[in-house]
Amino acid sequence: MANFTRILLEIIIGLDLGDKFSYYFVLDSKGERLDEGRIKTSPEAFKESFGKLKPSRVALEVGTHSPWASRVIKECGHEVLVANSRQFHLIYKNPKKTDRIDAQNLARVARMDPELLKPIQHRGLKAQRFGAILRARESLVKSRGVLINHVRGAVKSFGGRIRCTAHAFHLQAEEQIPEEVRRILKPLLETISQITDQIKLYDKNIQRAGEEHFPDAARLRQVKGVGPILSLAYVLCLEDPKRFTRSRTVGAYLGLTPRKDQSGESDPQLRISKCGDKSVRRLLVGSAQYILGPFGPDTDLRRHGERIIKGGGKKAKKRAVIAVARKLAVLLHRLWVSGEDYEPLRNAKRQGTTPVSPSGAESSFEAK
C-alpha cells in the first residue's frame, strides 16, 4: 500500500478481507484504477495504511474480521460501508470469484450507488463483547444437546430409556442407564455436568449484564415469556432503538416478514425472509411458542395467535407462532422507545372486549 501516500484525489477503496492478507482495489472519482495490492489483516497494519490516507470511502464485505476492521478504518477518518454479501450477488454468486475481483466489484459499486451493497451496521465494541457471552452460552447448550442425544441413543440400543430434562440430566440419568453400558457412558455424564455448571455461570453473567450495563433490558422483561436472555439479546441486536423510525420495521429487520417474489400478476405467498440475527429470531419464536402454549397468559398477543389458529389451515399453528413472534418484536421496540409500562390487554380494552382470562392469568400489551 506504499502508493496510497501519493494519492491526492477523492478515492474509493474496495477491500476484500482475508484471514491472513486482505486485497484492496483503489479507484478515483472518475472510476479509473489508481492502485491495488494486499496488506496484512491486522489492526496494526490497517492503522498504518489507512492512517496515511485522506478521508475516503471504503467498502468491505461482512465477515469474521469486518467488525474490528470497520472500527479501525472509521477511527482513521474514513467512511466505511460493510456490504451484506448474501444480498450482494455480484460477489456471493460470481462464477469468477477471486480476491482481486471481489475488491474491484466492491469499489465500483460503492462509487456508483452504495445502497446496492445493502450495507449493514456493526454493533459497538461494548455490545459485541456482551454478545460474545450469549454466543458462548449458546455453543455450550448445543454441545450439551449433542452429548445428551448420544447418551439417549446409546441407552435405547440396550433397551433402556432416559426420562429427564436437560438441566437435570447429569443428576438423574445415571440410575436409568443399563448396567452394561453405564461405565462406558459415565465420562459423558461428567462432561455434561461440567457443561451444565458453565451454562449456569453464563446465566448469572447474563442476568448481571442486563441489570448493570443494559437497564433497558429490564423494561422488556415486563412481557410474560421474555426472560433475561431474550431481553439482553434483543437490546444488543438493535443497540440503538432510534435507528428504526417505526416499530413495525423491526419485524422485517429480524427476518420475521414474508419474502416477496412478485412479478406481473404473480404474487405467491412465501416463507419468512430469515434476515438479521438468527439467534434473536429463534429466541423470539421460542417466546411466541410459550405465549401460545398451555402456560401462556391471556394476552393480546395470545389472542392474536389464537385467531390465526381458529382460521384453520394446514399450517395455521406455525403461522400463528411467527405472527406472534413478529408482533412481540414490534412490542418490545415500542416499550423500549416509549418508556411505557406494560399494559396487559390494551387492545382488548380499547375494543371493549372482556379482558378476562379463562385461566385467570394476567394479560398483555400489544403495540399498534
- DSSP for 357-368 reads -TT---------
CA 350 to chain centre: 34
pLDDT digit string (tens) for 13-37? 999 999 999 999 999 988 999 999 9
Phi, psi for residue 58 in degrees, rounded to 5: -120, 125
Write down the pLDDT at residue 9: 45
Is 56's pLDDT higher than 70? yes
Mean pLDDT of the chain: 89
- Inform me whether the pLDDT recorded for 269 exceeds 80: no
**pLDDT in the model for residue 135:** 96
Give residue 193's Cα distance to chain centre: 28
Label residue 351 by pLDDT band (50, 70, 90).
Answer: confident
Which pLDDT value is given to residue 290? 96
Measured distance CA(214)–CA(324) in Å, rounded:
25
Is pLDDT of 218 > 70? yes
Cβ atoms within 10 Å, residue 45: 15
Neighbouring-strand partners of residue 14: 25, 59
pLDDT at 1: 52
The answer for residues whose C-beta is within 8 angstroms of residue 298's C-beta and 6 or more apart is: 345, 355, 356, 357, 358, 359, 361, 362, 363, 364
pTM above 0.75, yes or no: yes
pLDDT exceeds 60 at position 166: yes
Cα angle 301, 302, 305; round to 5:
90
Q: Which of 145, 333, 361 is nearest to 248 (CA)?
A: 333
Q: How many CA atoms lie within 13 A of 31 on its CB side?
A: 7
For 327, the 3-state DSSP assignment is: helix
361 has a pLDDT exceeding 70? no
pLDDT score at 88: 74
Contact 348/299 with Cβ under 8 angstroms? no
Please give the average per-residue pLDDT across 71-83, as a whole number: 95
Three-state DSSP at 39 gives strand
The yes-or-no verdict on residue 121 having pLDDT over 90 is no
| pLDDT band with cut points at 50, 70 and 90 for residue 4 | very low
Which of 67-71, 141-145, 258-262 comes out lowest in average pLDDT? 258-262
